[in-house]
């Protein structure tokens, strides 16, 4: 059936929406940067300074905990800014803003204007890109690009297009390894043991090989600051759900890995793009460690899968970052426990997304049983 033609008013609204959203998002990110900076920005200056002086980064500072892509991007931006701090930060915010715009463009094409707008004008992405200058969004953008290249034809062997998708996924891990378990999610979908092995091992091999040029001089720092790095061990969902006896005997990291593996099988029938979004949700909801910047990881999921739980997550994450000790001082006081609630809402969002039909059916049966009991004799 032929689609109805777009009216002049609808076309004008569609064309006028993009520059308005872009302008508001860009201005908001640079505006929030005027409130100052925090530990993250100091870390990037230290990293860029080591690079500028030709010094080894991994042994030179304990504040760089990633593969090499990010330090080279910092170095390039620092050189372009003439090693001037103000120009360096402006270029960095501009780069992260462009990445956010790229994510929004993908969301627009795949999920519609509302998801794209909600992401680009989201206070969480605005504060993390503009104030924290954190770069989870780069790894997420590369992950989105990777799954779009990889495609949903999991019955077919790894061809050139899938190979390129796996290479981009490896580049995402080289930037920030938040998608470290996603190759397993892809491998579960792929048919044939040989193909599964390629899908599982290739991105991980790219990530590991990226350290090769730095290993002779920096292996001690790479081991200590990357592979043995420990973030804040808060484990919110683990402490909420696990009995005290289990908490005393079972490491929250083991529970995290098991949940990531279990959900990989639960989501094996989903389209690859939907699986990536679900991965980001489960990854943060079950993680044994959470800091402000990690709240950006499931933000695409929250903007696409819009329900009461994801909207509550966005609101609570916004309040936590705005009032947190290392965020922009946009609120007068910090309110304890907000990030706990945000993580709980995220976990409930994952449960609702996977078992929505079953839960609705259960609620319907409970409602019918209550009605039957109320309408019964006596």
Tokens for 51? 């690079």
List pLDDT tens digits, range 67-86. Answer: 999 999 999 999 999 999 99
Q: What is the DSSP letter of 143?
A: H
Most confidently modeled range among 55-59, 91-95, 259-263: 91-95
d(CA 110, CA 371): 42
Q: Which of 83, 101, 134 is a domain's end point?
A: 134
* Residue 162 falls inside a structural domain: yes
Residues 346 and 239 in one domain: yes
Mean pLDDT over residues 13-32, rounded? 86
Residues 242 and 327 in one domain: yes
Residues 114 and 147 in one domain: no
Residue 62: is its pLDDT beyond 50?
yes
* Residue 342 falls inside a structural domain: yes
181 three-class SS: coil
Q: Which of 81, 101, 134 is a domain's end point?
A: 134
pLDDT band, residue 2 (cuts 50/70/90):
very low
Half-sphere exposure of 164 (CA within 13 A, CB side): 6
In this prediction, residue 18 carries a pLDDT of 81
Average confidence score pLDDT of the chain: 87
In this prediction, residue 13 carries a pLDDT of 55
- 236 versus 124: the higher-pLDDT residue is 124
Token pair 């679900």 is found at: 278
Determine contact, residues 57/218, Cβ cutoff 8 Å: yes
Residues 74 and 197 in one domain: no
List pLDDT tens digits, range 244-259. Answer: 766 667 778 888 898 8
Determine contact, residues 284/346, Cβ cutoff 8 Å: yes
List pLDDT tens digits, range 172-201. Answer: 999 999 999 999 999 999 988 999 999 999
Residues 151 and 249 in one domain: no
If one counts every other C-beta atom within 10 angstroms of the C-beta of residue 261, the result is 14
- 24 versus 340: the higher-pLDDT residue is 24
Residues 279 and 196 in one domain: no
Lowest mean pLDDT of 2-11, 43-52, 100-109, name the range: 2-11
* Residue 115 falls inside a structural domain: yes
* Residue 77 falls inside a structural domain: yes
* Residue 256 falls inside a structural domain: yes
Residues 326 and 246 in one domain: yes
Closest by alpha carbon to 229, among 40, 46, 41, 64? Answer: 64
In this prediction, residue 331 carries a pLDDT of 54
List pLDDT tens digits, range 36-51. Answer: 888 899 999 999 999 9
Contacts of 6 (CB under 8 A, 6+ apart): 14
d(CA 165, CA 190): 14
* Residue 4 falls inside a structural domain: no
Residues 53 and 87 in one domain: yes
Q: Which of 82, 99, 134 is a domain's end point?
A: 134
Residues 168 and 97 in one domain: no
Residue 1: is its pLDDT beyond 60?
no
Residues 117 and 147 in one domain: no
Residue 89: is its pLDDT beyond 60?
yes
* Integer angstrom CA distances of residue 330 from 203, 319, 326: 40, 9, 11
If one counts every other C-beta atom within 10 angstroms of the C-beta of residue 213, the result is 10
In this prediction, residue 323 carries a pLDDT of 80
Closest by alpha carbon to 170, among 214, 202, 136, 203? Answer: 203
Determine contact, residues 166/146, Cβ cutoff 8 Å: yes
pLDDT band, residue 17 (cuts 50/70/90):
confident
List pLDDT tens digits, range 298-346. Answer: 999 999 999 999 999 999 999 888 886 666 766 544 555 788 888 889 9
In this prediction, residue 56 carries a pLDDT of 92
In this prediction, residue 340 carries a pLDDT of 84
In this prediction, residue 180 carries a pLDDT of 94
* Residue 315 falls inside a structural domain: yes
* Residue 372 falls inside a structural domain: no
Q: How many domains does the chain have?
A: 3
Q: What is the DSSP letter of 375?
A: T
Number of H helices, E strands in the chain: 19, 0
Dihedral (CA of 350, 353, 355, 360) sign = positive
CB-based burial, 5-41: b 16+ in 10 Å, e otherwise: eeeeeeeeeeeeebeebeeebbebbbebbeeebbebb
Our CA angle for 12, 18, 21, nearest 5°, is 125
| Reported pTM | 0.90
Residues 359 and 244 in one domain: yes
Determine contact, residues 179/173, Cβ cutoff 8 Å: yes
Burial of 306 (0-12, 13-18, 19+ CB in 10 A): middle
Mean pLDDT over residues 156-171, rounded? 93
Residues 179 and 107 in one domain: no
Parent domain of 116: 21-134
- 335 versus 64: the higher-pLDDT residue is 64
């Amino acid at each position: 059936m032929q689609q109805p033609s777009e009216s002049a008013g609808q076309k004008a609204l569609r064309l006028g929406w993009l520059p308005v959203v872009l302008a508001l998002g860009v201005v908001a990110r640079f505006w929030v940067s005027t409130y100052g900076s925090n530990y993250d920005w100091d870390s990037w200056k230290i990293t860029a300074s080591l690079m500028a002086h030709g010094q080894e980064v991994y042994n030179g500072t304990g504040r760089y905990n990633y593969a090499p892509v990010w330090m080279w991007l910092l170095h390039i931006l620092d050189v372009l800014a003439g090693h001037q701090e103000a120009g360096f930060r402006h270029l960095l915010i501009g780069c992260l803003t462009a990445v956010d715009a790229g994510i929004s463009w993908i969301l627009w094409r795949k999920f519609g204007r509302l998801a794209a707008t909600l992401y680009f004008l989201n206070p969480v992405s605005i504060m993390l890109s503009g104030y924290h200058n954190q770069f989870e969004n780069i790894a997420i953008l590369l992950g989105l690009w990777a799954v779009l290249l990889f495609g949903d034809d999991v019955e077919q062997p790894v061809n050139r297009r899938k190979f390129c998708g796996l290479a981009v996924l490896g580049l995402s891990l080289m930037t920030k390894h938040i998608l470290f378990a996603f190759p397993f999610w892809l491998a579960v979908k792929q048919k044939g043991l040989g193909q599964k092995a390629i899908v599982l091992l290739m991105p991980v091999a790219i990530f590991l090989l990226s350290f090769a040029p730095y290993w002779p001089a920096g292996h001690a720092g790479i081991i200590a600051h990357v592979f043995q790095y420990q973030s804040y061990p808060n484990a919110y969902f683990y402490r909420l759900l696990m009995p005290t006896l289990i908490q005393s005997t079972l490491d929250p990291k083991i529970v995290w890995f098991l949940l990531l593996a279990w959900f990989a099988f639960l989501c094996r029938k989903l389209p690859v793009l939907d699986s990536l979004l679900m991965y980001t949700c489960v990854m943060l909801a079950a993680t044994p460690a959470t800091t402000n910047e990690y709240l950006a990881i499931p933000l695409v999921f929250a903007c696409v899968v819009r329900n009461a739980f994801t909207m509550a997550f966005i609101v609570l994450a916004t309040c936590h970052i705005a009032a947190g000790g290392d965020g922009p001082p946009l609120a007068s006081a910090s309110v304890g426990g907000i990030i706990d609630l945000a993580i709980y809402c995220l976990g409930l969002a994952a449960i609702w997304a996977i078992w929505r039909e079953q839960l609705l059916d259960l609620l319907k049966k409970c409602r019918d049983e209550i009605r039957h009991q109320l309408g019964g004799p006596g």
